[in-house]
Structure 1
């Protein structure tokens, strides 16, 4: 573990002048999954994070694997129809936390094969599923090492405090062929690097390589120190993460701070690519409302994303270019940045996912996103963007409703280019 001193770099970035935001273009979804409800009547689900698996032999039969938190995993076809549902693990004891899947990502490697890896926030572990589109009973099979260790907690008592495995991104090092999972810790700034490896019994386990702590407070240009407001003892956590396999660069969204760029092996010094608009705004936590009351804005925030910055995903292009997409949950938009580190991840534009019809709505308060810039058969020949929708049934007042929207990636690229 290394605590990073980044005050100078952050202060320089904070000096960027604020500019007026321009109206953003809109794209519409082509399909959506069934609504998931986060209560007893709907199965205690809650959509969160998707990943896209391409069936190279038959792209029309590709899949979307997505977390439903306490509802476990859902697997969808390209028509957004559910083809498999996997329950989260039960609690080990009557007073213990049950399984709660948070984020998911895929591994495709010659060593391990095709895997879906998810963070189990409830158990502070990773769970690993092998992908076989033609497997009877469903394409996912649990191959988690039964002896897989906890990621951050030393005991079940610590697990029950739920400062556990949260955000997740996978990465295969092109030089060594080794595969890794990067996992963030809930309510902390820590990120862990875990190496994935095959066991002799056919399961897949992991070993912790190192951890890194991102900053929890920041020196502002006016000489004051700022820490994002939260519940007592709660630090500014990371959730959305993605790794660029071409250069081993990790992008991590610290929800109330902004987007960090750092080496995926967690060495070197992270750089803050962009800040949320609320960066530097003081806040006071109200115990009664369990909300933060914001003070006067000193003007040190960014201009493109609003807290929380959430789902991060990459769009790869054949010429080596591409985009980093980020969900700006606070204003229901998405921001696009140049993928090239040499261009300092320059902002390229943004977009909204808006309703396609009276029955097919857009995306609000998006938690997770996944893009794949490869042809996916007749439905998505230009690639696919899948985004979580935090309010799938706007008229519903008693139950939280969420789902996933499927968007033609070509329309997104056109919107950003415009």
Structure 2
């Protein structure tokens, strides 16, 4: 049977009914009420009708699944527990209990069931042993102060992931680590979530909201709280929420008791099937079988289970299959979080102490409130409430006025100045030492350049303008004068100066990486790397790192949560790496990095090859304010040696 003709459901933008095709929008929560836009359905006149067959066993959820190429069903019951049957509904195995819903994960030959216990309001995890036909309890997750109301299972990398939604309106993701669950991520969803399903193939989590519709979230543990709303409306229905959702290898089905249809969402479009008879569907689960989709349904009118076959198959390929990173690194430490939630932590710098390298300091900007200083364990040493500081850089051996100074410079978007700080190695604190006026309207990125004549600050504007300031020091104050100006075609931010070779590397966020000579007048800049292929815009922070006498440029590829490594000799891209979680250390991975800093000097016996510091856009495990992650230079050097040309 060919795929039935899909039916169009009217689309909703705020309270306006839309009658034309439109792409779904991915919206952060802050803009939710300005952009409630659903995924489209192709405009068609009719809805295909299919029959449903009543299931012989009572329960409140029916999940089809395939075991050894044979169709089976799992009944979830609030009175009888879990009941596994064959295709002909003969009972194969039972687990007594009181369960309101469940989810199944089949991965690497193992069948795992998560069930929501009505007695404890917590989740119980079972492995189904196909040899003995028994459910073997593995773990449990107790509810906190709020009842868990929805759950789903998935795999993230090597980790079994349990996603839950509770009565207070929070979605939480947990990883199973040996014999316990580790909380990874918390997202505020709002109350009313009744069902959950993960589409691992395309990297989404779907939440059925009884008040609004079907929410689509990024499945990645490091993702933010952005979401898309898949919304339908039918004639005569004033408010149409969604209570049930099912997933079948990239094909998503969902139901509402207010609509007499089963909706199918795939390839960014919706088709619908009306099941003959009068029903109020509250739950649905799905499985691919024989190039069709088998669904299990719960009808609230009759309080009965049904099964049906949809004449549609799962997509052949994933919509969002990304090119994998070339390597994976982990952090050995992380800094204390910044003071406030939101986009706050931005750019780090390293203040190197050549007398006692272990006492070196990480300096990070908090673009909501100032500057933070941390030791190499990540402990905060000092906070300076200095305004909205965006980028920071350090030079620790400035020979001026008969003395050697360590200074930090930061772009201040509050005062539109370049703020200079003197760094005291005795106290490991920073002291304000001057504000350089700028003619830029919106100070953004910044880096320092040390040369035979002193130290320069290069600072940019979001409009693409650059200023170069030459620093002076007198009477314990740092001043400066503008000695050069230049522009890039569009918004820049990150930059780094190669002091030895008098070369500036700087990013144009949407385009790539430029380089420009710093020792000649009016040099011709060149675009040395584009933001395409394995490197995704925005191009953000960058740093220089030496391995075996060769210098490499490390760049934040923010669009895919990775870092690109280029050889500066020929601008060749060695590869990309990401920073992944370390469950043993309890440190999460890194995503959406703004600024970074690298240094290949030894920091003591634990860091003989240097250090990489990166901003983490989503600090999870558990969810907290943003911070900075510290990665051993040995790990970075090993990646470079493995991927550079032989």
- Does the pair score TM above 0.5? yes
What is the rounded CA distance, in whole Å, between the counterparts of 1:123 and 1:74 in structure 2?
Answer: 18
Tell me: CA distance 1:270–1:67, structure 2 relative to 1, closer, same or farther (3 Å).
Answer: same
2:625 to 378, 396, 401: 401
- The answer to whether 1:256 aligns with 2:256 is no
- Aligned match for 2:496, one of 218, 222, 242: 242
1:167 matches 2:422: no
Quickly say closer, same or farther: Cα 1:380–1:203, change in 2 above 3 A. Answer: same
Point out the more displaced range, 67-76 or 108-117. 108-117
The alignment status of 1:412 with 2:636, answered yes or no, reads yes
How far residue 417 of structure 1 moved from its aligned partner, in angstroms, is: 2.2
Residue 117 to residue 28, structure 1, CA distance change in 2 (3 Å)? same
| Alpha-carbon distance, 1:35 to partner | 2.0
Indicate whether 1:390 and 2:605 are aligned: no
Of the three residues 559, 565, 571, the one matched with 1:330 is 559
SS at match of 1:75: strand
Matches of 1:276 and 1:37, distance apart in 2: 33
Corresponding residue to 1:197 among 445, 465, 472 = 472
Shift of 1:317: 4.3
Show CA shifts across 1:268-307 (max 9, x none).
Answer: 1111111112xxxxxxxxxxxxxxxxxxxxxxxxx23111
Write the mapping of 1:259-408 to structure 2, written as runs, cut at 5 A: 259-264=513-518, 267-277=522-532, 303-317=533-547, 319=549, 321-340=550-569, 343=570, 345-357=571-583, 359-393=586-620, 396=623, 401-408=625-632
Q: Report how far residue 388 of structure 1 moved.
A: 0.5
Q: CA deviation at 1:318?
A: 6.0
Q: Which residue among 417, 425, 431 is the counterpart of 1:133?
A: 425
Cα distance in 2 for partners of 1:23, 1:69 equals 30
Q: What is the alpha-carbon root mean square deviation over aligned residues?
A: 1.9
Q: Does the CA-based 8 Å contact 1:276-1:306 persist in structure 2?
A: yes
- How many residues were matched structurally? 315
Shift of 1:22: 5.5
**Partners of 2:592 and 2:385 in 1: how far apart?**
25
Instruction: Please list every run of 5 or more consecutive structure 1 residues that lacks an aligned counterpart in the other structure.
Output: 1-19, 89-98, 154-162, 216-235, 278-302
1:210 matched to 2:489: no
Cα 1:406/1:326, change in 2 over 3 Å = same
Give the superposition deviation at 1:379: 3.1
SS of equivalent residue, structure 1 residue 267: coil
Normalized per residue, which structure has more helix?
1
Q: What displacement does 1:355 show?
A: 0.6
Match of 1:410, SS state, is helix
Distance 1:139 1:45 in 2: 25
Q: Which residue of the partner structure matches residue 24 of structure 1?
A: 326
Does residue 53 of the first structure (1) align with residue 351 of the second (2)?
A: yes
d(CA) in 2 for partners of 1:177 and 1:408?
33
| 1:152 matched residue in structure 2 | 439
Give the TM-score, by structure 2 length.
Answer: 0.47
Q: Within 5 A, what are the aligned runs for 1:96-111?
A: 99-107=387-395, 108-111=397-400
User: Of the two, which has the highest radius of gyration?
Assistant: 2
SS state at 1:49 partner: strand
Q: Where do 1:170-181 residues align within 5 Å?
A: 170-173=448-451, 176-181=452-457
Q: Does structure 2 retain, via aligned residues, the 8 Å contact 1:119–1:126?
A: yes
Residue 361 of structure 1: how far off its partner (Å): 0.4
| CA drift at 1:127 | 0.9
Please report how far the alpha carbon of residue 395 of structure 1 lies from its aligned counterpart in structure 2 after TM superposition.
6.2
**Residue pair 2:325, 2:562 contacting (<8 A) in 1 also:** no
> Which of 338, 357, 361 is 1:36 aligned to?
338
Q: Where do residues 86-101 of structure 1 align in structure 2 (5 Å cutoff)? A: 86-88=384-386, 99-101=387-389
Answering whether residue 343 of structure 2 is matched by residue 117 of structure 1, we say no
**Which structure exhibits the higher relative contact order, with contacts defined as CA atoms closer than 8 Å and separated by 6 or more residues?**
1
Distance 1:258 1:58 in 2: 37
Q: Distance in 1 between the 2:547 and 2:383 partners?
A: 32
Partners in 2 of 1:213 and 1:273 — Cα distance?
16
Which secondary structure does the structure 1 equivalent of 2:345 belong to? Answer: coil
Q: Hey, what's the Cα distance between the residues in 2 that align with 1:77 and 1:256?
A: 34
Q: Deviations over 1:208-261 (max 9, x none)?
A: 11210122xxxxxxxxxxxxxxxxxxxx31100001111111111111111111
- TM-score normalised per structure 1: 0.72
Q: What SS is found at the alignment partner of 1:241?
A: strand
**Structure 1: distance between partners of 2:393 and 2:507:** 16
**Contact 2:587 / 2:621 at 8 angstroms: preserved in 1?**
no
Contact 1:45/1:72 (CA < 8 Å) preserved in 2?
A: no
SS in 2 for 1:381: coil
Query: 1:21, CA displacement in angstroms?
Result: 4.7
Most deviating of 351-360 and 99-108: 351-360
